[in-house]
Chains A and B, each alone.
Chain A
């Protein structure tokens, strides 16, 4: 039987004269993310591409404008995206201990009509996918978060969130790798270091990895 023809449409937009954004879709979706990671990996092999960064459902491509043009690269991306992506290997699995005693845990539980223990139980339930590494060094967007825990971001972001804070917002979870400002709800903390300045790449998680949280006492 012939391989089914992919129906993934890709739209490319200039991001200046040396980068472009290739959008595979607009939904938070594991299959789209798998395709974005595969497309970024294929693009990184090209000599005219300096860097290709996969996000949820898109790839941002930084290219050498002396070696290619936006139009030529856009055509190449359309060809690559129409091919069936190679079978994705399951990402590495990270088990992350979390002490569920975050400063927002009680408030989150109250808003959701749950107990603090239930919030923790629901949070450890899924195996999360690393959709995207970015924003600040080592930060990873994990998801999907179970619907029962879905909340908008805090109205007033904190000016400083401690490193290791485990947080939720929307259908996502994340761990603050560095002390930075942040608007997510802090429900716990972990001792695992996500930002590894002396390693290359300097972060524990990579796009496509899987993450399983488990409750720890300290």
Chain B
């Protein structure tokens, strides 16, 4: 283990995340992991890490980090205007930090969650096979909590390749975070909406309410009526759009509850989840019905973009 970064300021809400603990859902433990998996994977690949390595997920604002050693980092996802010693640095690009350099962020320009990867991969508490932070159980990541001033970030191993900065993901290869139309696949209980409700779901504009976090987003907008016979609880997945009795849908995100009994009218395509992950309270969004086949094509295109970073 090498100590590489010291937290001078933690940012509003910064946690350690990886690809989560999918095997723990049978025990009722949320799968967790990075909300924006594309940005998380890309950040790792830009510094020659394995995609499964842990990164920092920074919500709404970035931290201030001081390099304790020379190291290679990359910032992806939301654009919080990254700076090294005050000088602007590009996102989606490997950045070389010399010992003593300070990585900070001038302010949010687009999106809600930025990811910071460090060559070698962040070392943190592992719980049920994952370093992702689970706040409810206070496990995983930085001792089950968000980063605090004075924390020291260590890397798991030596960087795989010599620290060469400048690796870059072209803008046309990144998700278009400005397009808030989320492709969604018809869900098990879509029929409950009827023809009118279905049109509303796939045409109307919704807004992310203030009740939005890593568990899910409660949406505001037209109410949907998915009432009917009470359902027995069933296992859920991230991206599922639940409609509770209030008619205000809930979009399930990475730390979602593992089972529930509300009707699921649609599920956001996995390729659209990075955009969903960047939404903040007040952002407007809509859903466009897509077939499983087109969802698979979008997913393959994202995979190809990531593969372009693997040398």
Contacts and interface: CB of A to CB of B under 8 A. Distances in A.
Contacts of B258: 53, 134-135
A51 B26 contact: yes
B233 interface: yes
User: Helix, strand, loop or mixed for chain A's interface?
Assistant: loop
B235 A55 contact: yes
Contact of A58 (B23, B24, B234, B296): B234
A17 to B, nearest CB: 4
Contacts of A54: 26, 235
Contacts, number: 136
B240 A136 contact: no
B270 A60 contact: no
Interface in A1-57: 13-19, 21, 23, 26-28, 50-51, 53-57
B232 A202 contact: no
Interface stretch (B42-50, B88-96, B181-189): B181-189
B163 interface: no
A137 B259 contact: no
Nearest to A59: B235
Contacts of B236: 15, 60
A134 B257 contact: yes
Contacts of B27: 133, 137-138, 201-203
A3 B226 CA distance: 41
User: Helix, strand, loop or mixed for chain B's interface?
Assistant: mixed
Contact of A132 (B187, B233, B267, B271): B233
Contacts of A197: 127, 137, 139
Chain A contact residues (Cβ within 8 angstroms of B): what range? 35 or more
A147 interface: no
B136 A16 contact: no
B186 A14 contact: yes
Interface of A: 13-19, 21, 23, 26-28, 50-51, 53-60, 62, 65, 69-70, 132-139, 141, 177-178, 180, 195, 197, 200-203, 207
21 contacts: A14-B187, A14-B188, A15-B236, A16-B295, A17-B271, A21-B234, A23-B234, A27-B232, A50-B22, A51-B26, A53-B25, A133-B26, A134-B25, A134-B28, A134-B233, A134-B259, A135-B257, A135-B260, A136-B136, A137-B137, A141-B233
